[in-house]
């Protein structure tokens, strides 16, 4: 087992459905940073796939669009290893078994990562089309910086 933590960043969403593409947007930006000990991937949000991706990882960051009637661009952060992720935030999803359910099933099975941080960004537009709304893009840049800062602190590096 490595003495350094393993990081996984999962950008959840569909980049062809407006603000639902915020997860892949963040993933693409972080992939370009080449952060040490960090794997970055994209996922549709199907629960079993998410559980497979985060299996055996030390620290996982998941980024997804949410729809909770909040102000577009509002950032939500859940320490999912220690608290419940509200499934109602992901109610626009077409996934039968999505992020909230995957977290809770992993918790029951004892397979949650040591640290699982979920960033939800309140979306405004989930219609067909490419591109994020302005408020969502601004929030995405902040989440990118938040994740980089957390990795830099743990790794004690300069980016």
Is residue 1 situated within a structural domain? no
Is residue 48 situated within a structural domain? yes
The secondary structure of residue 128, as a DSSP letter, is S
Is residue 58 situated within a structural domain? yes
Is residue 147 situated within a structural domain? yes
Q: What is the CATH number of the domain that holds 73?
A: 3.40.50.1450
Is residue 11 situated within a structural domain? yes
Parallel, antiparallel or unpaired: strands 115-122 and 75-79: antiparallel
pLDDT at residue 1 in the model: 46
Number of domains the chain contains: 1
pLDDT at residue 94 in the model: 53
Which one has a higher pLDDT value, 51 or 101?
51
**Which range among 14-28, 40-54, 145-159 shows the weakest confidence by mean pLDDT?**
145-159
3 near 33, Cβ under 8 Å?
Answer: no
Q: Is the pLDDT of residue 93 over 60?
A: no
The residue segments making up the domain with residue 53 are: 7-155
* CA dist list (Å): 13 to 40, 66, 121, 157: 14, 10, 11, 30
Tell me, yes or no, if the pTM score tops 0.85: yes
- Structure confidence by residue, pLDDT tens digits, 41-69: 999 988 999 999 999 899 999 999 998 88
The torsion defined by the Cα of 95, 21, 65 and 63, in degrees rounded to 10, comes to 100
Is residue 2 situated within a structural domain? no
Is residue 51 situated within a structural domain? yes
27 near 10, Cβ under 8 Å?
Answer: yes
pLDDT at residue 57 in the model: 92
Tokens 């029951």 found at: 108
Contacts of 106 (CB under 8 A, 6+ apart): 51, 54, 112
Q: What whole-number distance in Å separates Cα of residue 54 and Cα of residue 65?
A: 19
Q: What whole-number distance in Å separates Cα of residue 59 and Cα of residue 24?
A: 19
Is residue 117 situated within a structural domain? yes
Question: How would residue 141 be classed by pLDDT, with cut points 50, 70 and 90?
Answer: very high
Tokens of 154: 């743990």
């Amino acid at each position: 087992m490595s003495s350094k933590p393993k990081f996984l960043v999962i950008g959840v969403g569909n980049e062809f459905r407006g603000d639902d593409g915020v997860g892949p947007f963040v993933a693409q930006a972080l992939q370009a940073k080449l952060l040490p000990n960090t794997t970055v991937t994209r996922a549709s949000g199907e629960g079993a796939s998410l559980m497979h991706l985060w299996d055996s990882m030390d620290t996982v960051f998941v980024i997804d669009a949410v729809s909770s009637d909040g102000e577009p661009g509002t950032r939500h952060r859940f320490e999912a290893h220690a608290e419940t992720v509200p499934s109602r935030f992901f109610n626009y999803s077409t996934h039968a078994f999505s992020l909230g359910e995957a977290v809770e099933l992993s918790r029951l099975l004892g397979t949650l990562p040591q640290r699982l941080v979920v960033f939800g960004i309140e979306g405004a537009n989930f219609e067909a089309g490419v591109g994020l709304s302005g408020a969502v893009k601004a929030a995405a840049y902040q989440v990118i910086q938040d994740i980089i800062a957390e990795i830099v602190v743990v790794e004690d590096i300069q980016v």
